[in-house]
Amino acid sequence: MKEHDESADPTLGEEARAIPAEGRGWRWVGAAALLLWLMVSLPLALGQRTFFIRDIFSNHLPQKVFGAEQLRQGRIPAFNPDWGLGQVFRGNPGILPFYPDNLLHLVLPFWSAFNLHFVLHWLLALVAMATLARTLGQSPAASLIAGLTYAGCGWLLSTLSFYNLLTVAAWWPLVIAGAVVGGRRGICLGGIACGMALLGGEPITAALGLVPMLVASVPRHGWRRAFSGAFAIGFVGLLIALPQIVATARIYGFSFRGGHGNIQTQVASYYLILPRLIELVLPLPFGWPGYRGAFGVWHAGYAARLPFFMSIHFGIVALALAFAARRKGWWALAGASLLVAWGGGQVPWILDTLTLGIFRFPEKFLFWLAIALPLLAGWGLQEITASPRRWWRAGVLIASVVFVAAAAGIWLLRAPFLAGYRVRVADSPDALHTIAAISLQSWLQALYLLIAGILLLTTAWAVRRRRPAVV
């Protein structure tokens, strides 16, 4: 299956055939990833552990408890009298009242069914992105890199704190794959995935997904067929999600957002802070958002609150591979994602006006980056394995040396810096906590940099030896 090539490179099919010895090592990598997922998921599926951060316990959990009890009695109620002095239930898409996996509550204990929603969609995200990459012509190893990058990136792991957003994130790569395939088969695949995503209760993110769908399908089919295919997929998706759409339409005018729109100050409550671009290189450079104390995040130093997506790290190896990919459309999408996620917070009234008071939180535009960068990583692996590029390997080697040197510098300067800082904050009531936090975070940053340097060196070696499984 050929892809239109916008940069006069060989077609993806030819590149895939040019890879000499991909071997079966990538299958062992996939098996190891599946085993890791199983190790994390099993205690959750057995109800021994649970996800709990943010909206999971503050919003989704009490609603799902009520919904599970009502479903066992054979109904999906219109109203929940036990929540917030009475709240709409059936018409609230954010609690997924019509989503098929609610049926798990009929046969499994509550905590098992509740947590299976998270872990199964986490796995689906990997499979869906790998399928999309394969549909776009990437080799098996490259598509696995794309799937692992997507499922393991900070953006998607952050969606594990949102019952509804995770659903859209997991299904949407299959929607795009359907648009790329085209025809009746593509419309069927994309339409079913779109319907499941719409039942997932995050229509804003689903609407944003139309842009990467066109980026993927227009080079393959042209503008007219791409738009008609997207329309057909959306139509099938709307038919599948019709029960939820009707239930929401009946109550939307009585909701605060439907009656009054957004509060201007809330539109930009969450937008991309420029210092967070460091997260593209280092995981959690400002601390751990899910912890307090010395492990906690330093968000007060650069933002008013915790970010909507707690991390935008995609892995240093995936980022390096992405830079080898010559795909202008996808790079434009990634750049636009960062620009709008930041710019929407600078002029929130524009975003509010253009979306008729429906859209808020510009950080949601990072969905485009989360779709684009894993695909670019897959293409990058495929291209440099097929035809090694000296400039890329030289850049990776230079970056690895810089990272190792930076790690050594932080480690050497850590003690004298802390000694001087201890004197300056000696009278502060939070002095002990602050010093402990700086000490721990500087140690972690040095460790991150050292590991990043080693990973880049290993990547350069593996690419030269043409061993994609090592990458």
The per-residue pLDDT for 68 is: 95
Stretch among 114-123, 127-136, 295-304, 395-404 having the lowest mean pLDDT: 295-304
Q: Does the pLDDT value for residue 85 go beyond 70?
A: yes
Q: Which of 57-66, 142-151, 405-414, 423-432 has the highest mean pLDDT?
A: 142-151
Classify burial at 317, counting beta carbons within 10 Å of its beta carbon; exposed 0-12, middle 13-18, buried 19 or more. buried
How does residue 460 score in pLDDT terms, banded at 50, 70 and 90?
Answer: confident
Q: How confident is the model at residue 301 (pLDDT cuts 50, 70, 90)?
A: low
- Residues 384-408 have a mean pLDDT of 89
**Rounded mean pLDDT of 205-231?**
96
Q: Which two tokens stand for residue 464?
A: 């030269």
Query: Running DSSP on this structure, what letter comes out for residue 9?
Result: P
CB 396 within 8 A of CB 459: yes
pLDDT at 38: 96
pLDDT at 173 over 60: yes
Q: How far is CA 213 from CA 7, 230, 323, in A?
A: 20, 8, 22
Read off the pLDDT of each residue in 242-254 and give the average, rounded to a whole number.
91
| pLDDT on residue 426 | 67
155: pLDDT strictly greater than 70: yes
Q: How many residues are present in the chain?
A: 471
Condensed to tens digits (0 to 9), the pLDDT of residues 89-111 reads 999 999 999 999 999 999 999 99
Task: Tell me the backbone φ, ψ of residue 240, rounded to 5 degrees.
Answer: -65, -40
- Identify the pLDDT of residue 13: 44
Percentage, residues of the chain above pLDDT 70? 88
Confidence at residue 18, expressed as pLDDT on a 0 to 100 scale:
42
Averaged pLDDT for residues 36-47: 95
C-alpha 38, offset from chain centre: 20
Q: Can you tell me the distance from the alpha carbon of 109 to that of 226, in angstroms, rounded to the nearest whole number?
A: 44
Per-residue pLDDT at 40 = 95
Q: Are 388 and 471 in contact (CB under 8 A)?
A: no
* Predicted pLDDT at 304: 61
Is it the case that residue 286 has pLDDT exceeding 70? yes
Predicted pLDDT at 289: 75
d(CA 388, CA 459): 12
Q: Per mean pLDDT, which range of 1-5, 47-51, 198-202, 459-463 is the poorest? A: 1-5
Q: What is the pLDDT of residues 111-145, one digit of tens each?
A: 999 999 999 999 999 999 999 999 999 999 999 99
Contact status, residue 196 vs residue 187, Cβ threshold 8 Å: no
Gyration radius of the chain over CA positions: 23
User: Does 426 or 152 have the greater pLDDT score?
Assistant: 152
